Amino acid sequence: FDTQLVFDIYIYSLMTRVESAQEQLGAYVGNLEEIIRERTRQFQEASLRDMLTGLYNQRAFYEYLRREMTMAERYN
């Protein structure tokens, strides 16, 4: 019985499982990152709108004003 062959097969089996786990983990991380991006976008949008009316609030106004002032300074 060749113990080296058994050992090599065992190591190969472990490496295969580790690689599979890494691929699954990578996919899981990618999904979580997408969920985080979407939730962040939702929270940012919610922070700019009045909860009762859904209209833009003062913070949104100042964000818009800041962007417009930056554009005016850049192009004038």
Interatomic CA distance for residues 66 and 47, integer angstroms: 16
Both tokens of 29, joined, read 């991380």
The alpha helices in the chain, defined as continuous H runs, are: 3-47, 58-75
Cα(8)–Cα(3) distance, integer angstroms: 9
Cβ contact 17:26 at 8 Å: no
Distance from C-alpha of 12 to C-alpha of 20, rounded to nearest angstrom:
12
Walk along the chain (76 residues) and give the pLDDT tens digit of each residue. Answer: 689 999 999 999 999 999 999 999 999 999 999 999 999 999 999 999 998 998 999 999 999 999 999 999 999 7
0.85 cut: is pTM over it?
Answer: no
Question: Which residue type does 19 have?
Answer: E
pLDDT reported for residue 76: 78
